[in-house]
Structure formats: structure tokens, C-alpha cells
Structure 1
Amino acid sequence: MTVLDQTPLPPAAPKAAAGMTGRQRVVLVVLLAAQFMLAVDFSILNVALPVIGRGLGFPLGGLQWIVTAFALGAAGFSLLFGRVADLFGRRRVFLLGLAVLAVSSLVGGLATTPWVLLAARVAQGLATAAVTPAGLALLTTAFPEGPLRERALGLNGALISAGFTSGAILGGLLTDLLSWRWAFFVNVPVALAVLLVAPRLVPESAEGRAGTARPRIDLPGAATVTGGLLALVYGLTLAGEHGWGDPAALGALAVGGLLLVAFWFVERAAVHPLVPVRVLRRRTVVWGNLAGLIAFATETSLVFLMTLYLQRVLGYSALATGLAFGVLGAGTVLGGIHAPRVIRRLGTRGSLVTGLLVQAAATAALLLLGTGHGWLALLLAATFVGGVGNMLAIVGFMVTATSGLPDHEQGLATGVATMTQQVGIALGTPVMSAVVTARMTALGGGTAAGTVLGGVGLALLVNTALVVAGGLASAVFLRRRSG
């Protein structure tokens, strides 16, 4: 038995109030609006990349860095900023991140050179790394453990996935009807609106109030975990672009692995660790976040695979592709709305396992796709069902990963969960891209529809296997309910 098996379960949470107060509803709307905007921001540029490349002079091979520049900041700094929010005030970090997002979005929309655009994307990623865990911690501390928190997290998960899907649709519409620059500008009024109302409606956490003693930040821990995550995301991006044999990719992945191992030992010795080892040993934290990593990596990479299929095999336009993903978005919204009810009936573990297995079955159905347009009906049905399952799993992951910890550590818990989310999003597409490329090369190369379909098919098989593995691991290692 591992040390994880000896971790005591947290005490049962007190029963929550029957319904939300008026103030809780307003706080929920404000925080969800910010989270939805961040989700839209991640995907809104995906269908506009070729147009941006032509407009600013990006080389074809450099377009992916518009996405990667964002992912590096968002994935690399989420854990650090989540802990900073715990120590210095969640509302303060939340508002500062929103201000940075508004300014960086304005700069990105006005960019005239590739380097200015990439700098703006890095700043947007850093803002996301601050706003997401701070906002999620404000959300979890506004609602006690139990049905109210599950409902809030269900709505949060639904809007995040709906925002990710809506971003693809909105990006296509703005690019076709106005300009790709509006994919940046659209953030500015939303961020400003939240900045205006949040200080009056969202209370500051106790740590952010004047006169509160604060421990020092664990700088060695922050340096090792942030450096490790940056190297990991960078290495995965290079592997997706050049293959798994690329020396630079392997070197970056090795450095990332070594730094993350070093982080564990640094935290064991630290007086005020960034992440206490006792938290890292919790069954709910370890296996909940592993399941969340798989859920985010597989579903976001599925969007990439289906984009290849729709555009390169069936020949659909970017706008038509974005609209097709509206069905996936509808499935995620439905899953998020009904997730609290499923959790009450099956428990968090049951919701997590059921969601992953439903997602796996839906993804496996996509292995039947062919080169004719008649297969679109199967794609829409499978992505809808898979979206429902994926959101059940994600809400189960969020509840699992944030339960059993006191309010003063919710920024830490949500920082870890946000890091999992962002690393999963950043990891999935490069891994599946490398699988597709390797398979297409083995089939003789070229861009014929049959060759692309062969690459997508193998990646779908890998995707399905990962989801099944995540579901089985959750069933075995989360066999006792967490709360």
C-alpha cells in the first residue's frame, strides 16, 4: 500500500443552506462572467490563426506559438498565483489579473508585429493564471461544501466548457464579419465591467485585509514548479511540432521532469511551503487532479482532431467548423447543469467515473468516421454525448480536488486544480498532433483525405484509451467517498 492509502479522509461537511442568498447569486454571476470570458479567450483565436499569420507576417510554422505563448503563462504560473492569492488576498489578485487582461487584450488587438502580439498573448496567459484560481477560490469560499458548492462548480464547469466552444464560434464570426483584432478587443469591455462591479460585490478574503500577518512566499518552490511546468509545456509543444525524437523537445521535457522532482524535495524541507506535502499526499488531490488532467487533455485535443477531420477530410470552412462545435458546447452545458444532481445520486467518485466512461464510449464511436459527408451526423451526436460525460467528470474533479481543505487553503487547492486544467489543455493538442503526424508519415505522408483520416483515427484510439485509464484509476483509487 502506498502512503496515499493511509491518508485519512476529511470529516463530513456540514449541510449547506437550502438555497442561495441574493448576494451569493450576484457574486456567482460576477465570478462566472469572468471565468466564461477567460475560457472564450483561450479558444477564440484558434480558427483565426491563418488570417492573423497573413496579416502580421507570421511564418506558417510559427502560428502555433500564438496559442503556446498563452499556454505557457496560463499553465506555468497558476499554482504560484493561486498561493499568492491565499496569502495576499484573492479579490486583490483577481482584480489585478483582470486589469492585466484588459490591457494585454487591447495591446494584442492593436499589434502590428508578431513580437507585440506574442507578448500580449504571454500577458493574457499570466492574467489567466492569476484570475482563474483566485476567482475559483472566491467561488468555493462563498459556498460551503455540499449541494450549494456543487451547484456553483457545476455552473462554473458548464460555462468554462461553453466558453471554450463559444470561443471557436465567436472567433469565426468576428474574423469573417469584422477582423481578427476583435477577437482581442471583445475582452476589454467585459473585463472593465467586472472590474467596476466586483469591488463592491465580492468580499475580500481574510488574508487580504489590512493588518493580517502573512507568511513568506516559498521562492525556491515557486521557481522549481514554475520552471518545471514551463519546460514541460514547451517540450510538449516542440514534440507536437517536430515529433518525439526532437532533441530540443526531449531536453525540455527532461528539464521539466527534473525541476518537478526537485519541487517535491524543496517542499518537504520548506518552512512555509508553496504546497504542503500533506496536501500533495491527499488521495483526493492526487487522483482527482490526475482524472482532471486526462479530462481536459482529451476533450480539448478532441476539438483539434475533429477540426482536422472537418476541414481536411470533409472540406468544411473555419466558420462551419466552429458552428459544428456548438453541439459539443450544448452537451457540456447540459452536463454542467445536471452534474450536481448526478453527484448527489452517485457521489463525486461515481460522477467522475461515469463521466469519463461516457466520454470514452462517445470518443470510441468516432472511430467509425469515414470520408463522406454523411458521417457528420455521427460526429455531432458523439461529441454531444461526449460533452455531457466530460463535464460530469470535470465537475466531479473540481469538487473532489477542492473538498476537505479549510477556507484559507482554497486558493492552494484551486491553484492546483487550475494548473491541472491549463496543463491538460496545453498538453493534449501537442500529444495528439504528434500521434497524427507519426501515423500520416507511416501511411506515406501527404495530405489526402484518407491519410489524414488514418492519423486522426489512431489519435482517437489513443484518446479513448487515456479516458478509460483515467476512469479505471478513479474507480480504484477514489473508492472511498471524500466528503
Structure 2
Amino acid sequence: MTGRLKLILAVLLVAQFMLAVDFSILNVALPAIGDGLGFSLTNLQWIATSFALSAAGFTLFFGRVGDLIGRKRIFLGSLALLGLSSLVGGLATSPEILIVARVAQGLATAAATPAGLALLTTSFPEGPLRQKALGLNGALMSAGFTAGAVLGGVLTDLLSWRWSFFINVPVALAVLLVAPSIITESRPAERPKMDLPGALSVTLGLLALVFGLTQAGEHGWTHPAALMGLAAGAVLLIAFYLIERRAEQPLVPVHVLKKPTVAWGNVLGLLAFVTETSLVYLLTLYMQKTLGFSALTAGISFGVLGVGTVTGGMLAPKVIARTSTLTTLVAGSLLQALSTAALLLLGDTAASMWLLLPATFLGGVGNMLVIVGFMVTATTGLPDREQGLATGLASMSQQVGITLGTPVMSAVVAATAGGALGAQAILDGVTVAIAVNTALVLLGALIAAVALRTRKQTPRTA
């Protein structure tokens, strides 16, 4: 790896880490924000929901826009928007201003994440170098999600919730100062036309789907808003597929979706993000409601998970090189499943932390093997002109997975606890949800072993 490639990698990794932190940094700070700006209890969830809607709903659309006008241009513009919206959010004096800032942050994330991944995959050729770059990228993205929970607790307790916004400003500014001189523009040789019907149907479909999921987590799966959102999302996504079959220049060519590596790779990525990010929610609930830990102590406990994800990201390219992508996916899923299943033995005393900490470390390693394997699988074998699409799909799987996991597991906990809020009731609900989480991880291992087994796996040497 040349010095210039190392610089490109460093800039892109810093940006992706910052974007990942944004997904979780406000989770711990929500009560403080509500008190500071006067959010009602029912409206507090919109701080997270407004971000999730725009981040997940517009990812595929902005991935294609990057193909049209240039990924570097989209990347830099979205980081400028992120820095500005973070400043506005930190200075917000009313709930309305904060929600506008969160929507803008979500749009910036929807644009920057696929553009940054496309710049990474087009800067590094297929093979060991790209696998190493994707491994580090995946490690820092997952570590960023965990670090957000830790950082949010520290900043809120020691300074103010406003610093959860302000912290983005200097990082975005530094990337904007360095990136233009070292990153070259990347776009297809032939500029495609925008498939407007396809873009509208998939964006509205994802918005409806994510809205339905968040409402289900908040009010239950039978709530009218949840049912309407999920139904509308399903109809619009079916319409999107039918539109793409007939479009002259589709947003997502059907032949790309039919590639097993793209289709099943993204399913595995979705499951990977659903399971690990929702496990963070479950363990936060367990540590605070059952063990009585403070938000700061619970957040710091996830540092072990962060170390595990970084370790897994560093190991993943080596495992892929010595075995195969398929072996890495299956082995990572099994390690994550065993580690998650061990959490079924958690009790109601602090002594359970001796089980929780090593289990989350090993689960983080396994999860990161899956995430890197998914990234390599979903972006391999496609020409540069389709890398924006491939990374857009991968980013969409990531962001929908992050959004999907918490409401699903929240609904499981609520159904099991039956409305009770006692320490034992929460423990019972969390235990059932951990069992569901383990089953989803095992489903991923089965999908990888069955759906990708016919693909020729050629071991690579570093």
C-alpha cells in the first residue's frame, strides 16, 4: 500500500467512523435533550426516528446521484452538510430546530456513506488490498457505533448533550481541508440517466418501511401507524422492482440484484447489523434496569465490544486470504451465535459482568468477520461503473439493519415482560430477545452456507 493510498484510507476511515458514531451518540443523551428543549415524552423518539428515516430512506438514491455527478463531489458536499447541521443541532433552542438538524444529519449520512465506500472500492483494486481496506472500514464503522454509546454518555455527564453534536464539527472540517487534495474524482465513464420513478418508489418505500418499524418499536406491531407504514413500504418496494424490470436505465438493474453475491451478501449484512446493534440495546436495558448501572457505566462497558470489533476487522482480511469469503462468513456467524447464546445465562447480579464482557468481545469479533465478509461479497465482481450502486445497496442494508434491530427486539422484550418494569421482568424479556437474536445469527450462517456455497471460493495469499 503506497503512502498516497494510506492517506486516502485514513481520510475515508475517519469520515466513516464519524458517520457511525452519529447513529448511537444521542441514545444515552435523549432524556437530557428532552429536559433541555422541552420535548414531550411521546415526541422524544423523533430525535432518533427523524435521523433514521432520512439516513436509511435516501441511501440508495444518493448512491446513484454519486454515479451521476461524481462521488468525490457528493462526499465532500455531504460532509459539509453534516458539519453545518451538527453545529445547528448543538445550538438548537427548540424541538423544531433540533429535528430539522437531525433530518439534515440523516441526509448527509445517506449521501456520504455510499460515496465514501465507492471511493474506497474504486481506489483499491479487488484482492488483498481491498479486503484489508474494507476490513479496517468495517471495524471502524462497528466500533464507531459502540463508541457513540460510550462517548454520548461521557459527554452528556461531564459537559452537555450539545457536545454530542459539536464533536462532529472539527472532524468534518479537518476531512474537508485534507480530502480535496488527495482523493481523486470517481464516476462511471458513461454518465447514466436518473431513473426518477425508480428513485421515488424506492425512497418512499424505504421511508414508509423505516417509519413502520420505528412505530412498531414504540407502540407495538399491531398499532395502525406501524401496520400502515409496513404495508405501504412493502407495496412501494414491490412497485420499485416492477419499475426496474422495465426501465431503460434502471436505478438498480435487475441483473445486479439477481447476482447471488449481491442479493445474499446484502441479506447477510442486514442480519449482521440487526443482531449486533440490537444486542447493544438489549444489554443497555439489562445493565441499567436489571443491574442498576448508570448510563455512563453501561456505556463504558461497551468499550470491550468496541475492542472486539476492531480486532475482528483486523483479522477478517487475513482469514479471507487464508481461507475464503464463505468460510469467513460462516465462521464469524457461528462465533457470534455462540457468544450471543452464552448471554442467555445472565443473572440479576453484577457478577454476570464476568460473562457479559468476554461474550461481547468474542461476539464483536465474530460479527465483524461477517460484516467484512458481507462487504467483500456484495462489492466483488462488479465493474467500477456499478460500484456506486453496490456500495449504495450495502450502505442501505447497514442502515436499515441498524434501524430495524432495536424496534424488533424492543417489541420482543415488551411482549415478554407484559408491561411490567421490574428488574426480573426486564431480565426475562431480555433473555427471550437474546434467544431470538441468536436464532437470527444462526439463520445468517445457514444462508451463507447454502446460498453462497456454489460460488467458487479461491483462497488468496496476502
* TM above 0.5: yes
Q: Report whether the alignment pairs 1:320 with 2:297.
A: yes
Q: One-letter code of the match for 1:456?
A: V
Equivalent residue, structure 1, for 2:434: 460
Shift, 1:198, TM fit: 0.7
Q: One-letter code of the match for 1:162?
A: A
RMSD of equivalent CA atoms? 1.0
Q: One-letter code of the match for 2:173?
A: L
Shift, 1:172, TM fit: 1.1
Equivalent residue, structure 2, for 1:8: none
Q: Which of 172, 178, 185 is the aligned partner of 1:197?
A: 178
Q: Which of 25, 35, 41 is the aligned partner of 1:60?
A: 41
Q: One-letter code of the match for 1:475?
A: A
- Partner of 1:62, secondary structure, is coil
The ranges of structure 1 where at least 4 consecutive aligned residues each deviate by more than 3 angstroms after the TM superposition are none
Shift, 1:95, TM fit: 0.5
Shift, 1:62, TM fit: 2.2
- Give the whole-Å Cα distance in 1 for the aligned partners of 2:311 and 2:380: 23
Q: Deviations over 1:28-60 (max 9, x none)?
A: 001101001111111111111111111111122
Equivalent residue, structure 1, for 2:148: 167
Given that 1:311 and 1:321 are in contact with CA atoms closer than 8 Å, whether structure 2 keeps it comes out as yes
Q: Report whether the alignment pairs 1:252 with 2:226.
A: no
Q: One-letter code of the match for 1:356?
A: S
Compared with structure 1, are the counterparts of its residues 214 and 331 closer, same or farther at alpha carbon in structure 2 (3 Å cutoff)?
Answer: same
Q: One-letter code of the match for 1:109?
A: G
Given that 2:20 and 2:145 are in contact with CA atoms closer than 8 Å, whether structure 1 keeps it comes out as yes
- Give the whole-Å Cα distance in 2 for the aligned partners of 1:482 and 1:344: 11
Given that 2:54 and 2:106 are in contact with CA atoms closer than 8 Å, whether structure 1 keeps it comes out as yes
Q: Deviations over 1:293-328 (max 9, x none)?
A: 000011000000000000000000011011000000
- Give the whole-Å Cα distance in 2 for the aligned partners of 1:161 and 1:473: 22
Mapping of 1:252-271 within 5 angstroms?
252-271=229-248
Q: Give the unaligned 5+ runs of structure 1.
A: 1-19
Given that 1:284 and 1:482 are in contact with CA atoms closer than 8 Å, whether structure 2 keeps it comes out as no
Equivalent residue, structure 2, for 1:155: 136
Q: One-letter code of the match for 1:202?
A: I
Shift, 1:204, TM fit: 0.4
- Give the whole-Å Cα distance in 1 for the aligned partners of 2:6 and 2:243: 41
Q: One-letter code of the match for 1:205?
A: S
Shift, 1:446, TM fit: 2.1
Mapping of 1:260-299 within 5 angstroms?
260-299=237-276
Q: Report whether the alignment pairs 1:233 with 2:239.
A: no
- Give the whole-Å Cα distance in 2 for the aligned partners of 1:481 and 1:125: 38
Mapping of 1:22-421 within 5 angstroms?
22-207=3-188, 214-421=191-398
Q: Report whether the alignment pairs 1:451 with 2:428.
A: no
- Partner of 1:83, secondary structure, is helix
Shift, 1:61, TM fit: 2.6
Q: Which of 411, 418, 426 is the aligned partner of 2:403?
A: 426
Given that 1:400 and 1:482 are in contact with CA atoms closer than 8 Å, whether structure 2 keeps it comes out as no
Q: Deviations over 1:419-469 (max 9, x none)?
A: 00000000000010011111111xxx3211100011111111111111101
Shift, 1:214, TM fit: 2.5
Q: Which of 432, 438, 444 is the aligned partner of 1:470?
A: 444
Given that 2:69 and 2:187 are in contact with CA atoms closer than 8 Å, whether structure 1 keeps it comes out as no
Q: Deviations over 1:130-154 (max 9, x none)?
A: 0000000000111110000000000
- Give the whole-Å Cα distance in 1 for the aligned partners of 2:98 and 2:43: 12
Q: Deviations over 1:181-206 (max 9, x none)?
A: 01000101110111111111000014
Shift, 1:216, TM fit: 1.7
Given that 1:92 and 1:204 are in contact with CA atoms closer than 8 Å, whether structure 2 keeps it comes out as yes
- Give the whole-Å Cα distance in 2 for the aligned partners of 1:357 and 1:112: 48
- Give the whole-Å Cα distance in 1 for the aligned partners of 2:404 and 2:369: 21
Equivalent residue, structure 1, for 2:456: 481
Given that 2:51 and 2:102 are in contact with CA atoms closer than 8 Å, whether structure 1 keeps it comes out as yes
Compared with structure 1, are the counterparts of its residues 362 and 105 closer, same or farther at alpha carbon in structure 2 (3 Å cutoff)?
Answer: same
Q: One-letter code of the match for 1:28?
A: L
Q: Give the unaligned 5+ runs of structure 2.
A: none
Q: Deviations over 1:205-260 (max 9, x none)?
A: 144xxxx7623200000001001100000001111111111122111100000000
Aligned length: 457
Q: One-letter code of the match for 2:399?
A: Q
- Give the whole-Å Cα distance in 2 for the aligned partners of 1:213 and 1:145: 22
| TM-score of the superposed pair, with normalisation by structure 2 | 0.98
Shift, 1:482, TM fit: 6.2
Q: Give the fraction of aligned pairs with identical amino acids, expressed as a percent.
A: 68
- Partner of 1:205, secondary structure, is coil
- Give the whole-Å Cα distance in 2 for the aligned partners of 1:160 and 1:355: 17
Q: One-letter code of the match for 1:58?
A: F
